[in-house]
Amino acid sequence: MFQNRAEALALALPAAIFAGLVFLVPVILLLSEGFRSADSWSLSAYADFFSQPLNRTVFLRTLKLGAIVTAAAAVIGYATAYAIVSLPPGAKGRMIGLVVLPLMISPVARTYAWIVILGRTGIVNQALMAIGLSDEPIRILFSETAVFIGLLQLFLPLMVISLISALENLPKDVVPAARVLGANWFQVFWKVILPLTREGLVVGGTLVFTGSMTAYITPAILGGSKVLMLETLLYQQVTVANNFVSASVIAFILIVMSFAANILLKRVATARNKR
Amino acid sequence: MTQRLFAPITLLLVLIFLIGPFLIIVAASFSAGDTLAFPPQGFSFKWILKVFTVESFRDSFVMSMFLAIGGTFAALLLGIPAAYAMSRYKLPFSETVRTIVSAPIIVPGIIVGLALLRYFVVPIGLSITLALFLAHTALVLPYAVRVVSASLNNLRSDIEEAAVLLGSSRLGAFFRVVLPNIRGGILSAFILGFVTSFNQVPVSLFLSGPGVRTLPVDMLGYMEIVFDPSIAALSSLLAFLSIGIVFAAERFLGFSRYV
């Protein structure tokens, strides 16, 4: 450990000043716009924002989609992670690789694929008509369902990875022990696996929830102007309505959500280090 | 019996869900037809070849490459000394510095792009290219600091103290002792930064002007107007590029140890 403070500052300050100037200052300026009206500080922009039904709908939809994507990712994630952890080592590594693989592909490409699958002439509609479930193509694109599917596919890998590391720390014998003592699978999960992997679930859950809340590409491509979420609404407010105050309000909501999630993650991380 | 089948069936379904769409995109990019469809109509390379002839794709590809390489390089130039100061010195306000430097990861990119547009590009007349460069550097900085910090913390600090005691200058010790030992971490940070920056959309969304935009933003605009397989072809090419880079990194560097 070197003690020279001036040297330490000289090394660290360029990065801090850069991030402060390019990032912190403009973002704070932008956020402050939502709290100003006619030269004084006020919350009227927030009252205005939430008084409009469209904005309320978009806000609630964003929360709702974030929540159900997280819940679905948790259920599928536990099943997947459990299946992967019980594989032999070689197969396990390959399987983790396959789950992580989509994370390296551009989200634009990953979301675009759903147009081919869910579109009017897409695979799903072809199949529905072929087996006679529907006479004409049904509309799946530009619905909340499409956005849900897209978000789930985008963020599921993060949940699986978090749960894999949690499940790997699970003592080997607890599940067989609970089974031998007569617990059914539901009880095993609820009373043994869940309490022991709660941290992994929180980490994965926050990543999936904030990821879904702040997603732009998925709602833009699969939701369009019919299914706006906060980020696509922000984009629209700036480019179509030229309304920077409302954009600032949305920005603040998004940042508060991300920060809250980040603090929660840090808490979990420090709690883990203490043990 | 049911338990035996549970694991393989779950994994199969999840993999179909996660990777299937990507395979469909790859198949669609070899289509001979004029509209995006699956199963593809016939087989040809015409859409793959067309990608290279679209001028705006070429321009935005060059722009994205410049941002990904230049921005990550700049982020490392700022991030390596900062990470070194945080791991080896008693840095005053070290928690504050860490928070500021890693803040860009928490704030959604679309807000950073909008803020730069509103306070730098419009009033001061900063060029969009420069704004993009600054934004991408800020975006990659947290990753650079985190990955380099991790590999510095894994390196015992007494070897450089020994070098200093034996008469090396502090700077000499850094370049001759520390740097060669964290080379893998730096390269991993570079690759992580490159992929993050190259695939990034929200930060660049507002920062586009005539002839200046990044490739993913260009693709988003193109797919709203034209419904042909060229976006599928371009997506597949880019996907194979990033997968190739990460695979090579894993092979030669053990990438996953660092990130």
What mean pLDDT, rounded, does chain B reach? 88
Contact B93, B218 (CB under 8 A): no
Average pLDDT over residues A70-90: 93
Task: Return the pLDDT at A29.
Answer: 92
Instruction: Give how far Cα A37 sits from Cα of A46, A153, B111, B114, Å.
Output: 11, 42, 21, 20
Is B14's CB within 8 Å of A238's CB?
no
**Residues 6 or more apart in contact with residue A185 via CB below 8 angstroms:** none
Residues of B in contact with A14 (CB under 8 A): 78, 81-82
State the smallest CA–CA distance between residue A254 and chain B in angstroms.
Answer: 7
pLDDT value, residue B3 = 66
Q: In chain B, which residues have their Cβ closer than 8 Å to the Cβ of A69?
A: none
Residues in A touching B202 (Cβ below 8 Å)? 214, 216-217, 231
Asked if the C-beta of B238 comes within 8 angstroms of chain A's C-beta atoms, the answer is yes
Interface test with B, best of A78, A86, A106 (most B CBs within 10 A): A106
> Which residues in chain B have Cβ-Cβ distances shorter than 8 Å to A218?
none
Residue of A nearest to B7 (CA): A83
Q: Domains plus CATH for chain A?
A: 43-274 (1.10.3720.10)
What is the pLDDT at residue B31?
83
pLDDT confidence bin for B63, thresholds 50/70/90: very high
The chain-wide mean pLDDT, for chain A, equals 89
Whether residue B156 lies within 8 A of chain A, CB to CB, comes out as no
Distance, CA of A65 to CA of B203 (rounded, Å): 22
The answer to whether the CB atoms of B82 and A95 lie below 8 A apart is no
Give the closest of A30, A107, A157 to B115, CB-based: A30
> What is the C-alpha to C-alpha distance for residues B198 and B65, in angstroms, rounded to an integer?
7
Given a contact cutoff of 8 angstroms between Cβ atoms, the answer to whether B116 and B52 are in contact is no
Q: How far is B88 from chain A (nearest CA, A)?
A: 5
A40 bridge partner residues: A37
- Nearest CA of chain A to the CA of B79: how many Å? 6
pLDDT digits (tens, 9 = 90+) for A104-126: 888 888 888 898 888 877 888 88
With contacts defined as CB-CB under 8 Å, which chain A residues touch B248?
A: none
| pLDDT tens profile B180-232 | 989 888 998 999 899 899 988 999 999 988 888 999 999 988 888 887 888 88
What pLDDT digit, counting tens, does each position of A16-40 carry? 999 999 989 999 999 998 998 777 7
CB atoms within 10 A of CB A60: 10
Q: Which band of pLDDT confidence, cut at 50, 70 and 90, is reported for residue A272?
A: low
Task: Tell if the CB–CB gap between A30 and B118 is shorter than 8 Å.
Answer: yes
pLDDT at position A275 over 70: no
Residue, of B89 and B135, whose pLDDT is higher: B135
> pLDDT of B221-251, one tens digit each?
888 888 788 888 998 898 888 888 888 887 7
Q: Whole-angstrom Cα distance, residue A274 to residue B56?
A: 53
Radius of gyration of chain B (CA): 22
Specify the 3-state DSSP secondary structure of B14: helix
Residue B1, pLDDT score: 47
Among chain B residues, CA nearest to A9 = B91
Give pLDDT, residue A274: 55
Helix (H, G, I), strand (E, B), or coil: what is residue B213? coil
Percent of chain B's residues with pLDDT above 70: 97
Q: Which token pair is B1?
A: 């019996």
Residue B60 above 50 pLDDT? yes
**Is B9:A80 a contact under the CB 8 Å cutoff?**
no
CB contact under 8 Å between B103 and A24, yes or no, is yes
Q: Which of A87, A104, A239, A262 to mutate to test the interface with B (most CBs of B within 10 A)?
A: A104
Longest dimension (CA), chain B: 72
Q: CA-nearest residue of chain B to A86?
A: B7
| Confidence at A51, pLDDT banded by 50, 70, 90 | very high
Yes or no, beta carbons of B119 and A117 under 8 Å apart = no
| Contact criterion met (CB < 8 Å) for A76 and B14 | yes
CATH topology of domain B54-257: MetI-like fold (1.10.3720)
Search chain A and give the residue with CA nearest B195: A104
User: How far is residue B198 CA from its own chain's centroid?
Assistant: 5
B90 and A2 within 8 Å at the Cβ level: the answer is yes
- Nearest-CA residue of chain A relative to B26? A113
* Of residues A117, A216, A258, nearest to B205 (C-beta): A216
Q: Both tokens of residue B100?
A: 């500021």
Distance from CA of A53 to the nearest CA of B (A): 23
pLDDT at A271 over 80: no
Cβ pairs bridging A and B (under 8 Å): 236
Yes or no: say if A231 and A219 are a contact pair by the CB < 8 Å rule: yes
Amino acid at position B57, single letter: F
Least CB–CB distance from A1: residue in B79, B88, B115: B88
B-chain CB neighbours of A258 within 8 Å are 106-108
